């Protein structure tokens, strides 16, 4: 039935299109314009980088060129409208009377002119762009993430993502309310134009940092890997929080409960966030299980093309399935990417591994450019923009204030439990790297009915542009000023990190995770690890026999061992096999989760005890 709804919604939409040639050329031109923008962005940013001018990255460049296109379209608006009219006349000559005529029955004045509805086009195209290009970006980010560090920092990441975003939202909301009061005092707005709930909505929309722009920034700078993990992990997970918060506040607003705080609704939001997080996690993991079992139990590895296609399509499905069932696609594809890099990659052929990585790299690179050039385009062609200077400058100020209120106190609390502290310079950089982007835009664009909401949209777009261009450009000098290691190599780093902890027994959560991962998931999903028949109780006999890694091939075995000492980033390179003294002992790779993900792991004093065991 759902498929039918899909068809229905599309079919209504196409009736108004003109003759074939017109329609066909449109489709070509649309794709051609996107491709030309991408080409110009790639070449000019690359050229700038060649001159050691590292202040511009692809994200900012793409947005800039999108804006140029927007200017061109706005400038040529009158010509275009004439073109449309001429075209409609010729339609009748060709015996192709359009079967439908549109009648505007909207009561809202600001939707009257034909160009105004670009906004609807904007949101629709953005949805398609999101569904097509966002999954590879997040997947590639997760796939190439240092997993050990992610697990080690998971507690901190979740704290920043959940409490940090909540603090940001409240802080921005309250500060912006102050600014709107100031606007009323200065006579720039009428009393009642901007109520508290609008300000909180703005807070929710702009509370989350954007994974795409953060990834774009981090991939250029190659910062310290712990900092990378904290920023990227936070930016992915806090989107889920922001989406839930925005939804909750928008629902409040519609219900008219207005200014009063409702504790039950707050609890509902928390529950809803946790539900979405867990649901999305499961969705991502289900698709990894499917992929891993498919690549484990079939001879798909004989054809790297099929292997790559299947991994690509199944990983993509995790995002789409989550979105279609009301969960967070971004979170689902994050966990899918992380778990694919942990399990499925062990079942792939060497060529399949390198192909998969390269394919996602290209998709991710192009997707980022397409999404941001489209955002730049919308920034100048979206009609109901409302520019309020005080609101905008207030927003830019509160972005820093809220980020500081979020990072410094939470880092202080987290450092109480972390062995590997979040240093002051890391904290400063995290406050600074609060880039906003596509996700905030997609939240803001969904409701532009009142003037307040149009102000929110305009401000959000400008905020995204400001943070991406200015903060993006200032990141490189700031990293130097803060003396944060740059050009970090993951291999070198994973060595000073290898084989610690694990001595505390299976009674902690870390031990449970190790047990689950090493004793059950890995043997079940890959050809590595001990046979399940040894680990599972007797009554699971049939299950254990089916899933046991019995058909291990020599090259796979070697790879299983190799994998323990390398990060997935380097899996596709041909690396020397590990030295015998390492591979002989019990694998240590899963034993570094740290103190419940609070980042305690690099306890170097414990290294010797492991080696002597």
Looking at residues 256 to 295 of the shown chain, list those that interact with its own copies (rule: CB under 8 A). 294
What's the rounded Cα separation, in Å, for the pair 183 and 165?
26
Q: What is the DSSP string of 186-227?
A: TTSS-TTSS-HHHHHHHHHHHHSPPHHHHHHHHHHH-B-HHH
Query: Sign of the CA dihedral 211, 213, 216, 218?
Result: negative
Assess 316 for contact with its own copies (CB under 8 A).
Answer: yes
Assess 520 for contact with its own copies (CB under 8 A).
Answer: no
Question: Mask: binding to its own copies, 323-342, rule CB under 8 A, as x and -?
Answer: xx-x--x-------------
What's the rounded Cα separation, in Å, for the pair 360 and 367?
10
Which of these ranges, 184-192, 396-404, 442-450, 456-464, lies near its own copies under the rule CB under 8 A? 442-450
Residues 455-514 that bind its own copies (CB under 8 A): none
Residue 155 or 337: the one with the smaller Cβ distance to its own copies is 337
User: Minimal distance in Å, beta carbon 258 to its own copies?
Assistant: 16
Spatial CA neighbour of 233 closest among 318, 137, 151, 132? 151
Rg (CA), the chain: 26
- The separation between the first and the last C-alpha atoms of the chain, rounded to the nearest angstrom, is 60
Residues 122-141 that bind its own copies (CB under 8 A): 123-125, 127-128, 130-132
Residues 27-46 that bind its own copies (CB under 8 A): 27-33, 35-36, 38-39, 42-43, 46
Contact criterion met (CB below 8 Å) for 152 and 419: no
Position among 53, 90, 92, 120 found at the interface with its own copies (CB under 8 A): 120
What's the rounded Cα separation, in Å, for the pair 283 and 305?
25
Mutual angle of helices 304-324 and 118-143, in 10-degree steps: 130
Q: What is the DSSP string of 105-116?
A: ----GGG-SGGG
Which of these ranges, 274-282, 322-330, 393-401, 548-556, lies near its own copies under the rule CB under 8 A? 322-330
Which of these ranges, 116-124, 270-278, 462-470, 508-516, lies near its own copies under the rule CB under 8 A? 116-124
Assess 451 for contact with its own copies (CB under 8 A).
Answer: no
Residue 42 or 606: the one with the smaller Cβ distance to its own copies is 42
User: Minimal distance in Å, beta carbon 295 to its own copies?
Assistant: 11
Which of these ranges, 12-20, 276-284, 531-539, 563-571, lies near its own copies under the rule CB under 8 A? 12-20
User: Minimal distance in Å, beta carbon 365 to its own copies?
Assistant: 6
The first and second tokens of residue 308, run together, are 């790559």
Position among 185, 190, 274, 305 found at the interface with its own copies (CB under 8 A): 305
What's the rounded Cα separation, in Å, for the pair 463 and 435?
9
Count residues near its own copies (CB under 8 A).
Answer: 111
Assess 574 for contact with its own copies (CB under 8 A).
Answer: no
What's the rounded Cα separation, in Å, for the pair 539 and 422?
47
Say how far residue 301 (Cα) sits from the centre of its chain.
29
Count, residues in the chain: 613
What's the rounded Cα separation, in Å, for the pair 245 and 482?
33
Contact criterion met (CB below 8 Å) for 176 and 391: yes
Which of these ranges, 19-27, 340-348, 384-392, 515-523, lies near its own copies under the rule CB under 8 A? 19-27
Position among 104, 550, 585, 608 found at the interface with its own copies (CB under 8 A): 104
Residue 53 or 124: the one with the smaller Cβ distance to its own copies is 124
What's the rounded Cα separation, in Å, for the pair 606 and 611?
9
Residues 236-255 that bind its own copies (CB under 8 A): 254
Position among 48, 91, 350, 359 found at the interface with its own copies (CB under 8 A): 359
Assess 586 for contact with its own copies (CB under 8 A).
Answer: no
Instruction: Specify the DSSP class assigned to residue 116.
Output: G
Residues 370-409 that bind its own copies (CB under 8 A): 381
Position among 57, 59, 118, 459 found at the interface with its own copies (CB under 8 A): 118
User: Minimal distance in Å, beta carbon 324 to its own copies?
Assistant: 4
Assess 538 for contact with its own copies (CB under 8 A).
Answer: no
Residue 234 or 323: the one with the smaller Cβ distance to its own copies is 323
Assess 80 for contact with its own copies (CB under 8 A).
Answer: yes
What's the rounded Cα separation, in Å, for the pair 256 and 259?
9
- Write b or e for each residue in 72-102: b if 16 or more Cβ atoms lie within 10 A of its Cβ, otherwise e: ebeeeeeeeeeeeeeeeeeeeeeeeeeeeee
Assess 26 for contact with its own copies (CB under 8 A).
Answer: yes
Which of these ranges, 117-125, 500-508, 510-518, 560-568, lies near its own copies under the rule CB under 8 A? 117-125
């Amino acid at each position: 039935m759902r498929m039918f709804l899909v068809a229905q919604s599309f079919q209504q939409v196409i009736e108004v299109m003109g003759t074939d040639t017109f329609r066909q050329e449109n489709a070509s031109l649309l794709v051609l314009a996107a491709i030309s923008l991408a080409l110009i962005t790639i070449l000019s940013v690359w050229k700038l980088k060649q001159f050691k001018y590292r202040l511009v990255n692809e994200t900012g460049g793409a947005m800039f060129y999108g804006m140029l296109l927007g200017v061109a379209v706005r400038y040529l608006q009158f010509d275009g409208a004439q073109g449309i009219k001429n075209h409609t006349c010729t339609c009748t000559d060709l015996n192709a009377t359009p079967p439908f005529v549109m009648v505007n029955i909207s009561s809202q004045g600001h939707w009257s002119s034909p160009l105004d509805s670009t906004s609807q086009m904007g949101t629709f195209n953005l949805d398609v762009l999101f569904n097509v290009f966002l999954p590879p970006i997040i997947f590639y980010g997760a796939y190439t993430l240092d997993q050990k560090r992610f697990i080690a920092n998971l507690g901190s990441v979740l704290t920043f993502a959940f409490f940090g975003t909540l603090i940001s939202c409240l802080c921005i909301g309250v500060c912006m309310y102050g600014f709107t009061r100031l606007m009323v005092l200065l006579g720039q707005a009428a009393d009642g134009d901007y109520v508290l709930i609008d300000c909180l909505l703005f807070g929710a929309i702009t509370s989350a940092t954007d994974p795409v722009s953060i990834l774009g920034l981090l991939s250029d700078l190659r910062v310290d890997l712990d900092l990378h993990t904290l920023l990227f992990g936070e930016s992915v997970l806090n989107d889920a929080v922001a989406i839930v918060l925005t939804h909750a506040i928008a629902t409040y607003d519609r219900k008219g409960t207005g200014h009063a705080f409702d504790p039950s609704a707050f609890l509902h939001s928390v529950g809803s966030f946790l539900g979405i997080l867990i649901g999305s996690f499961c969705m991502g993991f289900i698709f990894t299980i499917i992929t891993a079992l498919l690549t484990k139990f079939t001879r798909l590895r004989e054809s790297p093309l099929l292997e790559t296609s299947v991994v690509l399509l199944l990983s993509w499905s995790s995002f789409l399935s989550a979105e279609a069932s009301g969960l967070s696609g971004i979170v689902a594809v994050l966990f899918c990417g992380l778990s694919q890099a942990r399990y499925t990659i062990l079942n792939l052929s060497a060529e399949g591994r390198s192909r998969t990585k390269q394919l996602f790299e290209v998709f991710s690179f192009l997707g980022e450019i397409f999404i941001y050039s489209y955002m730049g385009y919308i920034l100048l062609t979206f009609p109901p923009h409302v520019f309020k200077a005080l609101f905008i400058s207030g927003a830019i100020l509160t972005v820093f204030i809220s980020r500081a209120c979020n990072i410094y106190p939470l880092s202080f609390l987290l450092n109480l439990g972390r062995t590997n502290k979040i240093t002051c310079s890391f904290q400063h950089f995290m406050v600074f790297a609060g880039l906003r982007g596509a996700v905030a835009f997609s939240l803001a664009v969904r409701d532009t009915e009142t003037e307040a909401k149009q102000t929110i949209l305009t401000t959000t777009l400008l905020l995204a542009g400001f943070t991406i261009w200015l903060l993006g450009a200032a990141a490189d000098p700031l990293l130097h000023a803060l003396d944060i290691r740059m050009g970090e190599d993951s291999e070198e780093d994973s060595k000073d990190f290898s084989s610690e902890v694990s001595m505390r027994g299976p009674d902690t959560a870390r031990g449970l995770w190790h047990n689950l991962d090493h004793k059950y998931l890995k043997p079940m999903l890959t050809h590595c690890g001990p046979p399940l028949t040894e680990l599972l109780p007797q009554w699971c006999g049939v299950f254990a026999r089916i899933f046991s890694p019995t058909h291990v091939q020599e090259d796979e075995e070697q790879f299983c061992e190799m994998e323990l000492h390398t990060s997935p980033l380097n899996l596709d390179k041909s690396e020397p096999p590990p030295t015998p003294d390492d591979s002989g002992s019990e694998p240590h790779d899963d034993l570094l989760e740290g103190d419940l993900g609070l980042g305690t792991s690099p306890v170097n004093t414990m290294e010797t005890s492991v080696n002597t065991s």
